[in-house]
Amino acid sequence: MSRFDDYLWDPAAPPDERIAALERALEPYRCRADADHDAALARLYDAARHPSRRRAAVRRALLLAAAALAAVGLGTTLWLDRAAAPWSVALQDGGAALSGRAVTADARMRPGDVLATDASGRARLAVGRIGQVWLAPGSELELVDAGEASHRLALRRGEIHARIWAPPRFFVVDTRWATAIDLGCIYTLRVDDDGSGSLAVLQGAVELRAPDGATVYVAAGTKAHLGPGGPGVPWPLGSDSAFRGAAESLAAGSEDAAALATLLAAPDAQATITLWHLLPRVEHDTRAALVRRIAELVAPPPGVRIEDVVALDADALRAWQSVLSAHWSSEPDTRWRRFLLRWGIAKPAAVLHMQAEVDD
């Protein structure tokens, strides 16, 4: 009897008692294979009995593995090529300067360069090959890093609109009071001369990180201010001024009862993005009231207790946020509109001023 005809290889062969005993012990943990899996196992047993078929199966497996490795290598090469592509600058209107020199038709931006538009200037910057950034008039933007691990800009003043298709956290923009970390999206970032400003997200999401490491998640259809205290709490673009004012009042440390009442009247689940980001910034009683309102709009997942969230337990917060975050985003309502935005078919003028709600 060949070694491929014994019970270890062929269940139809006379059983080996030691192997059969082991199988009985492991029976409760057996994978319940369906017919397709059974057929695959049958082919495996058949290949094991016939060396020529076995060799053919090995060759096919090696060819598939080689093809997979080649695809990975090609994908990596293409990605590195995209990341390392030249950062070209195109002047669209008015005037602009690249490190003090007027922008020419073949202008290329390199690490350390600063691109500045004048009072009427508009420019488009190719971010390697992973996206584009438009500069509004009166803007000043520095290219900090264009490496294979990340692309990093610094917005000193003015307004940019970024449209990026890259892995999350690959594209980063520094400002004086917060860092905008791209999570795969389209957004507008504005910075005033004193470093304050705002971030409005149209598609995807951005993480705003304060100098002390605190983070704020800004989803599509929401906006947050930047200031000396770092990023403010985000709010839906469609919310009214009373809601935004109440959120900023509580975020600044005020225990204004009227402001709290305004927030507790939050109309829908998207508004929980504001209430949620307020939790670590307010006192216990205010936090408890906000948590109860959040629970009315979006129930916590099983196992998450309200009292643990009020106590800011990290595990409870993480579990509930994973449920809440699905309600925070308001992506464009049609696939066609998302396609237009993603691939840059929307006109630059409309892009820089994407919606009336973006403006304060």
Note whether residue 1 is domain-resident. Answer: no
The CATH number covering residue 123 comes to: 2.60.120.1440
Do residue 210 and residue 262 come from a single domain? no
User: Average per-residue pLDDT in the chain?
Assistant: 82
Q: Does 337 map to a domain?
A: no
Q: Mean pLDDT, to the nearest integer, of 235-258?
A: 94
Report CA dihedral (264, 266, 271, 275) to the nearest 10 degrees. -10
- Spatial neighbors of 296 by CB under 8 A, at least 6 apart, are none
122 and 190, same domain (yes or no): yes
CA distances from 220 to 44, 71, 182, 207 (A): 50, 33, 12, 11
What was the pLDDT predicted at 291?
Answer: 98
Q: Is residue 6 assigned to a domain?
A: no
Amino acid sitting at position 207: E
Both 59 and 96 in one domain: the answer is no
Give the model confidence (pLDDT) of 289-326 as tens digits.
Answer: 999 999 999 999 999 999 999 999 999 999 999 999 99
pLDDT at 61 over 60: no
Q: Are residues 78 and 89 in the same domain?
A: no
pLDDT confidence of residue 58: 53
Find the angle CA(97)-CA(103)-CA(104) to the nearest 5 degrees.
165
Q: Say what the pLDDT of residue 185 is.
A: 87
H helices within 92-238, ranges in order?
none
Co-location of 189 and 249 in the same domain: no
Higher pLDDT, 24 or 132: 132
Whole-number Å distance between alpha carbons of 194 and 304:
42
How does residue 2 score in pLDDT terms, banded at 50, 70 and 90?
Answer: very low
**Are 259 and 249 contacting, i.e. CB atoms less than 8 angstroms apart?**
yes
The more confidently predicted of residues 1 and 144 is 144
Tell me the per-residue pLDDT of 157-169, one tens digit each, with 9 for 90 and over: 999 999 999 999 9
Strands 197-203 and 222-227: antiparallel
Average pLDDT over residues 226-252: 95
How far, CA to CA in Å, does 77 sit from each of 70, 103, 148, 170, 356?
10, 31, 11, 17, 41
pLDDT of residue 332: 58
Tell whether 311 and 218 lie within a shared domain: no
* Domain co-membership, 177 together with 301: no
Please name every residue paired with 303 in a beta bridge, in sequence order, or none if there are none. none
Q: Are residues 289 and 154 in the same domain?
A: no
* Position 4 in a domain: no
Cα(92)–Cα(94) distance, integer angstroms: 7
3-state helix, strand, coil in the chain (%, to 5): 40, 25, 35
3-state secondary structure of 195: coil
Question: Residue 190 domain-assigned?
Answer: yes
- Residue predicted with more confidence, 58 or 1: 58
Indicate whether 25 and 164 sit together in one domain.
Answer: no
Last residue of a domain, one of 82, 110, 125: 82
pTM over 0.75: no
50: number of Cβ within 10 Å: 13
Overall number of domains in the chain: 3
Burial class (CB in 10 A: 0-12, 13-18, 19+), 180: buried
For the ranges 11-20, 65-74, 152-161, 166-175, the lowest mean pLDDT is seen at 65-74
Q: Are 320 and 304 in contact (CB under 8 A)?
A: yes
pLDDT at 175: 97
Q: Are residues 244 and 277 in the same domain?
A: yes
The reply to whether 293 falls in a domain is: yes
173 burial (CB, 10 Å; 0-12 / 13-18 / 19+) is buried
Q: Is residue 254 situated within a structural domain?
A: yes
In this prediction, residue 86 has a pLDDT band, given cuts at 50, 70 and 90, of confident
Tokens 């829908």, residue located = 268
Among 82, 104, 132, the domain boundary falls at 82
Please state, in angstroms and as integers, the Cα–Cα distance from residue 269 to each residue in 246, 293, 345, 347, following that order. 17, 10, 31, 32
Sign of CA dihedral 13, 14, 19, 22: positive
On the question of pLDDT at 345 being above 60, the answer is no
Specify whether 131 is located in the same domain as 66: no
Domain that holds residue 22: 17-82
Residue that wins the pLDDT comparison between 42 and 146 = 146
Q: Is residue 5 part of a domain?
A: no
Q: Same domain for 40 and 160?
A: no
Q: Rounded distance, CA 290 to CA 275, Å? A: 6
Spatial CB neighbours of 205, under 8 Å, sequence gap ≥ 6: 183, 184, 185, 217, 218, 219, 220, 329
What confidence tier does 105 reach under pLDDT thresholds 50, 70, 90?
Answer: confident
